[in-house]
Structure 1
Amino acid sequence: MPTRTQIFQVSTLYGAATLAAALDAGQFGPPADSRRILLVCNNAPVPETAAGPDALLGYDRIAARFDSVISWNETIRPYHPGAWGPRADDVVLWQRALRLAWGLGEEPVELALESIQVDPARALAAIFSESALHVYADGLMSYGPTRTRLPQSMGCRIRRVLHLDLVPGLKPMLLSEFDVETELVPEDAFRKVLGEIAASADGDRQLAGAVAQAPTAVLLGQYLAALDILTVEEEEALHIRMLHGAARAGHTRVLFKPHPTAPVRYSDALERAAAEAGVRLVTLDTPLLAETLFERCAPTLVVGCFSTAMLTAAVYYGIPVARVGTGLVLDRIAPYENSNRVPLTIVDHYVPDLERHGGGEVPALPGTAPATLGPLVRTVGYCMQSELHPELRDEAESWLRERLDDSTRRYFKRQRLGKLSLPGGSTPGAAARLRSTVRRTRSTLRV
């Protein structure tokens, strides 16, 4: 008989695949020891109009590993999963309600959560306030700092950070302020799960038609306009730049995988550009993981801005990857502590720029992270969350003093460096600190 319940919260199929690989590798113990619940969240701005992870091809293969599946959206309806958390006075009542609704009884509960610093993961951690927490990384954000300061009472319950080795040689910063250990999900286990997901799409006609076109390059859309980073027109132009870059590299058969929430006009504009460039373009909007395309189409190039799928293509499929537009997005992304900044920095520094390659030249396959990447990521991470990582200040000062130049300036903002009294800042640090002290003193005197 199971002696505990393990609840696995997911909002993406990629994250669910990561958990499935960890389960297969025995990283959550023997199945007979636990009752396992898959808690599915749809965090889209309007969940009723967007496909959740359970709507994607291959989801059923993941769900089969669990004893039951529960919808978090249905549980807390009419509240939105990303905007609701229990009041402090109500957490005990919420735990009782969930134990009753989910048939948990009084047995111990463990939680496997993504994005612990925000809801719904933070809400679940608060409700099950005595539970051990396991955090898993759904992509490149784990290499950056924790987005916000977590309560010490929550941080001390986190046992580990499970993550994929998407950038070999680079260690995640996520939750390192609590000295949480990191643990790799085995490569072979994750690759096997991706294979299962791809196999479940065998009967899809649109995918079969795309495969029949034998595309040699895949373009990945991210819909950055939804994040207010680019305008719709700018992102449309970004996709066209990807197409032109692939064409210059000799690719005449290209597949475009738009983001599920991208507008139809993206595909229309790209089709016109492809016709002008003499490229046969296939647009695939079937709800499936980009990794299924790598499995089924075996492309020789994957192009994107800073999508995690680019690194998955390189690490797990051995496909050369190239980036387009990271400089523009680095300039636009705000605020500075935006969690996408580290993924952007990694891809910009680590992945070849497609627009720097001439006709017929194929970008090299990224390998082990260069020695320059770790110090750069830690310096950017310090500038993002200096209060969480005061131990990194000396390294950040040294790096900026020695390495900040025209080629690295795009990773930093002068105002941010000035605010932190770091080399390269636009505002004298001492003066900024003095003004802050004066304001605090005036406020104290008023009281």
Structure 2
Amino acid sequence: MTAKTAKTAPTATTAPTATGRPTGHARVQIFEVSTLYGAATLAAAIDAGQFGAPEDARRILLVSNNAAIPETSLRLDAMTGYDRIATRFHDVIDWNEAIHPHHPATWAPRPEEAPLWQRVFRTAWALGTAPVELVVESIQVNPARALAAVFAESTVDVYADGLMSYGPTREELPQSIACRVGRLLHLDLVPGLRPLLLSEYGVEPELVPDDAFRAVLTEIAEAAEGDRQVTAAVDAEPTALLLGQYLASLGILTADEEEELHIRMLRGAAAAGHTSVIFKPHPTAPARYSTALNEAADQAGVRLTVLDGPLLAETFYERCRPTLVVGCFSTAMVTASVYYGVPVARVGTDAVLARLTPYENSNRVPLTVVDHIVPDLETGTGPAVPGAGPQTLTPLVRAVGFCMQAKLHPLLREETVRFLEEYQGDVDMARYFDVERLGRLGLPGGQAAPRAGGSRLRRTLTRSGRS
């Protein structure tokens, strides 16, 4: 059992070395983070005073790389703008190093070992006997669950990294953790829509102020001054930005299907009159996506600039000022409209909705939100700045949330029944629900799942009919 020592952040505050000496602060705040977007959210909350005055606590940024193979993925500290975020903390600690050789997504202490691990970390990170407050993302999974188990007496705040806060908690939390969660901090990405995450435990959502978050995004963009890729993008005078995701990596689409999705984005932008386009691939996307897109751009007569550097999409909004952002259901689409007033459009959400499994997949609510409020680029309706969305959005999200996690949200059943009865037969609404799941839950519009024998018989008859 080993734990690595802390790395000092680039800050004017001198952090204590990992010797076990008292920290000099009455308490310690540990902020667990795995993405720059999440770190920016925390920085905005800190700047807005949502974690108290800087001198009141020693602040530790605990960086976790949750990629399947962390050694081959982009490190958070390599992202442009990271250094500016890190100045808000007294220390930066690498969680992967602290628990090496274990993986952050799978490691958690055995219950009988948790007190020993706390002593190890308190010594390695010079926490002394100060009370620890945890600020984590995705409390239902590791590393947040592991931290909550190690620091079993600590209070817990959760912050939401994107649209998933509007969906239900992925699974039931142990009471020993649920009773300690105080707040859910989230961005107002869809004005008027209230998060379902952790609501079953009475956790109150708390907005991170828009102006504070936008200021942090501007700060990150300033760090890209002189970046060669950004300079090249600005010189290309792009009017549209295409957002790649990692749907193939998640097993939602095949690599070929995701490649075709990006090509459809480009063709849609070209059809809308855009002749200079930026493509921002996801860091895990294969290089051949760029090759296929270049060929499609040549055919469409579009100038394509591929930006695969360690930059947030929001940095391009600041520096390039596009007039269109296209994606499938990326949070960066909503950020473009809410914080920059850029019109957005979606491509391929209907296909992903049909393929997303299991029904309780955490991507379902972000996908539903984007599909419901963002115009489809390929239907000719034109991009838009969605704002608060239609009146149907809140009841739709709550109904989908109930169907995803009915046991966690029994109080939503009655309003879900009313919603399904009102929109029964509506083809547009029907695609958000699975009829067999509705049947299992005894909800309007549901049908019983076919028996396995009947399915085999139908397949046999179908093959016979084709022969």
TM (normalized to structure 2)? 0.90
Offset of residue 422 of structure 1: 1.0
Matched, 1:143 2:163: no
> What is the aligned partner in structure 1 of residue 314 from structure 2?
291
Of 279, 283, 294, 2:302 maps to 279
The letter of the residue matching 1:111 is L
The letter of the residue matching 2:312 is L
The letter of the residue matching 1:149 is E
Range moving further from structure 2, 7-16 or 198-207? 198-207
Unaligned runs of 5+ in 1: 432-447
Offset of residue 77 of structure 1: 0.7
| SS across alignment from 1:89 | coil
> What is the aligned partner in structure 2 of residue 425 from structure 1?
446
1:45-444 equivalent positions in 2, closer than 5 A: 45-357=68-380, 362-404=382-424, 405-427=426-448
Offset of residue 428 of structure 1: 8.0
CA distance in 1, matches of 2:158, 2:75: 21
Q: Deviations over 1:181-201 (max 9, x none)?
A: 110000000000000100001
CA distance in 2, matches of 1:20, 1:45: 26
CA distance in 1, matches of 2:195, 2:299: 43
Range moving further from structure 2, 384-393 or 88-97? 88-97
CA distance in 1, matches of 2:181, 2:200: 12
The letter of the residue matching 1:273 is A
Offset of residue 133 of structure 1: 0.4
CA distance in 2, matches of 1:400, 1:300: 37
Q: Is the 8 A contact 1:11 1:52 kept in 2?
A: no
| SS across alignment from 2:249 | helix
| SS across alignment from 1:408 | helix
CA distance in 2, matches of 1:369, 1:410: 18
Where do 4+ consecutive residues of structure 1 move more than 4 Å? none
| SS across alignment from 2:362 | coil
CA distance in 2, matches of 1:384, 1:163: 21
| SS across alignment from 1:242 | helix
CA distance in 1, matches of 2:273, 2:93: 47
CA distance in 2, matches of 1:158, 1:324: 37
CA distance in 1, matches of 2:77, 2:278: 24
CA distance in 2, matches of 1:343, 1:244: 24
The letter of the residue matching 2:212 is A
| SS across alignment from 1:224 | coil
Offset of residue 52 of structure 1: 2.4
Matched, 1:18 2:19: no
Q: Is the 8 A contact 2:140 2:169 kept in 1?
A: yes
> What is the aligned partner in structure 2 of residue 438 from structure 1?
none
CA distance in 2, matches of 1:162, 1:225: 30
Q: Is the 8 A contact 1:163 1:183 kept in 2?
A: yes
CA distance in 2, matches of 1:412, 1:269: 34
CA distance in 2, matches of 1:339, 1:152: 21
Identity %: 67
The letter of the residue matching 2:268 is G
The letter of the residue matching 2:427 is D
Unaligned runs of 5+ in 2: 1-23, 452-467
Offset of residue 425 of structure 1: 1.4
Q: Is the 8 A contact 1:382 1:396 kept in 2?
A: yes
Offset of residue 50 of structure 1: 0.2
Offset of residue 16 of structure 1: 0.1
Offset of residue 203 of structure 1: 2.0
Q: Deviations over 1:395-434 (max 9, x none)?
A: 11111111132111111111111111111112189x9xxx
CA distance in 1, matches of 2:270, 2:299: 11
TM (normalized to structure 1)? 0.94
CA distance in 1, matches of 2:325, 2:80: 21
Offset of residue 151 of structure 1: 1.1
| SS across alignment from 2:185 | strand
Q: Is the 8 A contact 2:436 2:449 kept in 1?
A: no
The letter of the residue matching 1:415 is E
CA distance in 2, matches of 1:325, 1:3: 51
Q: Is the 8 A contact 2:25 2:130 kept in 1?
A: no
Q: Is the 8 A contact 1:9 1:38 kept in 2?
A: yes
Q: Deviations over 1:291-317 (max 9, x none)?
A: 000000000000000000000000000
Offset of residue 369 of structure 1: 2.6
CA distance in 2, matches of 1:327, 1:87: 42
> What is the aligned partner in structure 2 of residue 444 from structure 1?
none
The letter of the residue matching 1:91 is A
Range moving further from structure 2, 187-196 or 349-358? 349-358
Matched, 1:38 2:61: yes
**What is the aligned residue count?**
427
CA distance in 2, matches of 1:52, 1:104: 25
CA distance in 2, matches of 1:148, 1:202: 43
> What is the aligned partner in structure 1 of residue 455 from structure 2?
none
Offset of residue 89 of structure 1: 1.1
Q: Deviations over 1:99-136 (max 9, x none)?
A: 11100011100000000000000100111011010000
CA distance in 1, matches of 2:235, 2:140: 43
Q: Deviations over 1:134-159 (max 9, x none)?
A: 00000000000000100122111111
Q: Deviations over 1:178-235 (max 9, x none)?
A: 1101100000000000001000011211111111101000000002100000000000
Q: Is the 8 A contact 1:229 1:333 kept in 2?
A: yes
CA distance in 2, matches of 1:193, 1:82: 28
